[in-house]
Every structure is written in C-alpha cells, then in structure tokens.
Amino acid sequence: MAEPMVRFLNVQKSYDGETLVVKNLNLDVARGEFLTMLGPSGSGKTTSLMMLAGFEPATHGEIFLNGQPINRVPPHQRGIGMVFQNYALFPHMTVAENLAFPLKVRKIGQSEIAERVQKALDMVEMPAFGNRRPAQLSGGQQQRVAVARALVFEPMLVLMDEPLGALDKNLREQMQYEIKHLHDRLGITIVYVTHDQTEALTMSDRIAVFNDGEIQQLSTPSELYERPKNAFVAQFIGENNKLTGSVETLDAAGECRVRLKSGDVVQASAIAVKRVGDQTLLSVRPERIVVNPVAGSCTNILQGRVEETIYLGDHIRMRLSVAGTDQFIVKFQNGPESGRMDAGAPVTVGWSVEDCRALELA
C-alpha cells in the first residue's frame, strides 16, 4: 500500500494532565483524499486538526506527514494550508495582497507571486477581485479568498476548520459543492472538520466520526449512513428511529429476534449483539419504512397510529405512534400516489431485516 499523506500514531492530547480530550488516535489519510472529522462539540475533532496543523502539541504519540515525524516542526514549516471559520483575512490588505502574503513569507520572486496570485483567483472564479478589500466582499467571496490563500503556495495538504459555519444555508450548500469540485480538480489532500453531518456526507471520501476523544467509526459516507456500527453513529448521522428491547434468539446467519418493551417482536440484523438476553437498540431509517405494505413484502409488520403529517414539498414526513413511542418517523417521496393521512388514522408499517440493525445500547 502507498504511504499515507498523514498518519496519527497513538496520539493523545490532555490540557490539564489528567483528562484526555483525544484518546489514542490512530488514523491514516491517503494522498488526494478528502477526509472529514465529524462529531459534536468537545469530541476531539478540532483538537486533532490543530495538532496536525502544529497549533497544539500532542501530549503523547507521533504525527507523520509524508512519512516524516512533524511533532517538533513549527507550523510555518509544515507546508500545510489552513482555512478557518472566520476566514482570518487581513482587513487592511487587498485580496491580491492577502494571497501574496504566504508567498512573500516563503521568499518567492515578485513575478512568480503575481502569476500565482492570478492563477489562484482564476481557480476560485474571482479573476477581477484582486484590488478589493475583504470588507468589500460577501461572505461567500471571502470564503473563496480564504480557500485560494490556503492553496496559493501549492501545499501538500489543506486543513479546513468549520470553514462554512458563518454562511447562510443556500450559500453553505453552494460552497460545499465548490470545495468538493476544487478538490476533485486539483487532486489535493483535504482534512476537514465539521459538526454538520449533511456537509460531511456531501463532501467526503471518508468520514471519521468522533465522540469523547475517540473515533467511533471510519467509513465512506454511504457505509456510515447505511451501516452504522454503534448506537452513537446511528443516532448522530441522519434521522433514525430507535427501538429498545431484549434479544430472544441469535442465529448463525447474523440475524436476531428482539422483543420490544411494547411486547412486539422484530427480526433484525445482529450488528453488535453478543448473546441472548442482551439489551439492544434497534436502528431503522425513516425512509426505509413502508407505509401500509403489500402482504408478504416486509419481514417486520407493526400496527400504529398517525400523530401528524408534515408536507415538505419533495417528500412527506409522518410522525406515528408505533411500538410504545409516539416519535416514530416515516419519510416517503411526494407523488401522485402519496395521499395524506389525518391524525388519528390507523396505519400499518413494515421494514426488512436488512434495514433494521441491532446495536449495543449507547
């Protein structure tokens, strides 16, 4: 296998000498990969990024860049580009001067600086904005300049710390695609930090889900969403129905029968259950549930009642009372056959064994 661009080897971080905010992190980032560190506040994702950037020292372990240890290399000598949430542009400089700054620090000649600055502006589709100051730009334009500044000195690696956090929803979504397309076009390696699951799923080649200083799962977006390995990932990534019960049977084919607290019995894929009698959390995605299924089409069939129906344009969202919870969510595409079910109406729901994952309780 090719040597990874980045390697965290048994890395730990403590600020007070007692509590570890990053616990024994082992993570490889491949050359040209877009890897996202995703997790709630305090999960250790930003601290891990700051250690890679050189702004925080590791308490234990070693970080490697292109096979070379960098723990004792100062940030400005690591050859890493950085994009922050607040853009960190110099307000007294023009856009062109902001882009030229990292090149001047590296003592690159004036003619090459001018050429690289214009190339960077073209890259982010702002060729005529060189003479403007940051205050004369929109939030999206400032964000593009920050990305251009991180790329202008042609770094091996670019780190992005919540770079879209200050943008409104529409611009945020637009910039997600722009950064992803830039990554695909240039082939650069990006390590990206966010707490926004949709952002991570949209942009990443792989996602490392952090919680309590540890990686809970490291997978592709589709693997992470479709096959979460534990209750935390299932609940953190996307909307998810959670049903708890005890394991009654466990077979060699990897399936189990679970008796819910409501008394209903459900067949599930035994992802993280070890023995009969264990308590388990069943995870079922709202869009995997069939409303009023055709007889024989679903392994699991439960009866319920409609609590509310919400029209969301392209899809319908229903909240049901099923198996002892009135927070059971179903989503389905809006179409000619969708119909609308009023509150209080009886409803039958079904789903397959493959779409129901039996996990350890968090």
What is the number of domains present in the chain? 2
Instruction: Specify if 188 maps to a domain.
Output: yes
- pLDDT for 362: 63
State the pLDDT confidence band at 130, using cuts at 50, 70 and 90.
Answer: very high
Q: Is residue 317 part of a domain?
A: yes
Asked if 191 and 54 sit in the same domain, the reply is yes
Predicted TM-score of the model (pTM) = 0.87
CATH code, 133? 3.40.50.300
Same domain as 292, residue 149 = no
Using the 3D structure, point to which of 231, 261, 292 is the last residue of a domain.
231
Please report the sign of the dihedral spanned by the C-alpha atoms of residue 204, residue 352, residue 282, residue 254: negative
Which pLDDT tens digit goes with each residue over 277-309? Answer: 999 999 999 999 999 898 888 999 999 999 999
User: In angstroms, rounded to a whole number, what is the distance separating the alpha carbons of residues 308 and 173?
Assistant: 29
Evaluate whether residue 1 is within a structural domain.
no
Q: Are residues 203 and 302 in the same domain?
A: no
- One domain for residues 91 and 189: yes
Q: Among 231, 263, 298, where does a domain finish? A: 231
User: First CA to last CA across the chain, in angstroms?
Assistant: 35
* Segments forming the whole domain that contains residue 270: 239-359
**Among 231, 260, 292, which residue terminates a domain?**
231
Q: How confident is the model at residue 1 (pLDDT cuts 50, 70, 90)?
A: low
Cβ count near 148 (within 10 Å): 25
For residue range 61-78, list pLDDT tens digits in order.
999 999 999 999 999 899
Q: Which DSSP symbol is given to 98?
A: H
**Would 130 be classed as within a structural domain?**
yes
Question: Does any domain span residue 326?
Answer: yes
Run of H or E residues at 316: strand 315-322
**CA distance linking residue 348 with residue 322, whole number of Å:** 9
* Residue with the two structure tokens 């009866």: 303
- For residues 151 and 158, the answer to whether their CB atoms sit within 8 Å is yes
Domain annotation covers residue 33: yes
Shared domain for 269 and 299, answered yes or no, is yes
- Residue 82 bridge partners (DSSP): 159
Instruction: Based on the fold, state whether residues 194 and 303 are members of the same structural domain.
Output: no
CA distance 218 to 149: 30
> Do 209 and 244 have their domain in common?
no
User: Hey, what amino acid is at 153?
Assistant: F
Kindly list the distances between the CA atom of residue 51 and the CA atoms of 55, 64, 74, 291, in Å, as whole numbers in the listed order. Answer: 6, 11, 11, 49
Q: Are residues 177 and 92 in the same domain?
A: yes
Reported as a pLDDT band with limits 50, 70 and 90, residue 338 is low
On whether residue 147 sits in a domain, the answer given is yes
Give domain status of residue 112, yes or no: yes
Distances in whole angstroms, Cα of residue 64 to Cα of each of 26, 48, 51, 158, 226: 11, 13, 11, 15, 32
